[in-house]
């Protein structure tokens, strides 16, 4: 991975963290406090299924993305890292979306 790509991933992670805190009413949570590799649901950040709805909407509105293969849902929505990787891979493949 080039420095450029690594930098882009860092930016996406940062953006996702900020969006999570703003959209999910995560009071008392600072975006910088969210660990990129901790699970979003259950143990970890402790999000629930309704938060998942907000994340899906967030991906659609901000990145024009839809998760078509639900078999990969668990993998994609696991952490900020996995989510950022998904956003990076798919927005890079079709920049117009």
Partner 1 sequence: MADKKLKASAKKRGNRLGLWFFKISLRLFGLSGAYGLLYLVCPYYLIFDRPGFSAGMAYINRRYRDHNFLHKIYYVYKLLINQGKNLIDRYYIISGQGQFEIEDQPDERLEALFNDPQRGGILLLAHVGNWQVIMAGLGKLIKKPIYLLMRPEDNVALKDMLDVDGEQELVKIISPEGYLGGVIELTQAISRGHLVSIMGDRTYGADSVEACFLGEKAHFPYAAFGMAAAIGCPVIVLFSAKVSTKKYRIFYPTVIEPRYSSRHNKRQDIEGWIQKFAKNLEDYVAEYPFQWFVFDDIWTENSINNKRL
CA distance to 2, 10, 65, 85, per residue, from 5 (Å): 5, 9, 19, 11
User: Under rule CB under 8 A, how many of the chain's residues touch partner 1?
Assistant: 20
Helix 80-93 × helix 49-63 angle, to 10°? 30
Q: Count of alpha carbons within 13 Å of 36, Cβ hemisphere only?
A: 13
Find residue 41's DSSP bridge partners: 47
Q: Which stretch binds partner 1 (CB under 8 A): 5-13, 19-27, 30-38, 80-88?
A: 19-27
Element (H, E) at 50: helix 49-63
Q: Which stretch binds partner 1 (CB under 8 A): 10-18, 31-39, 55-63, 85-93?
A: 55-63
Q: Is 19 near partner 1 (CB under 8 A)? A: no
Cβ at position 39, least distance to partner 1 in Å: 12
Q: Between 72 and 92, whose beta carbon lies closer to partner 1?
A: 72
Kindly tell me which residue out of 15, 19, 41, 85 binds partner 1, with binding defined by CB under 8 A.
Answer: 41
- Whole-angstrom distance, CA of residue 94 vs CA of residue 66: 13
Q: Is 66 near partner 1 (CB under 8 A)? A: yes
Q: Name the site residues for partner 1 (rule: CB under 8 A).
A: 22-23, 25, 41, 48-54, 56-57, 60, 66-67, 70, 73-74, 77
């Amino acid at each position: 991975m080039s420095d450029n790509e690594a930098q882009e991933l860092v930016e996406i992670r940062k953006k996702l963290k900020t969006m999570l805190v703003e959209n999910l009413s995560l009071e008392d949570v600072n975006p910088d406090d969210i660990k990129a590799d901790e699970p979003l649901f259950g143990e970890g950040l402790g999000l629930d299924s309704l938060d998942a709805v907000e994340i899906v909407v967030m991906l659609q509105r901000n990145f024009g993305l839809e998760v078509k293969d639900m078999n990969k849902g668990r993998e994609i929505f696991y952490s900020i890292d996995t989510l950022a990787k998904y956003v990076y891979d798919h927005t890079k493949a079709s920049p117009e979306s």
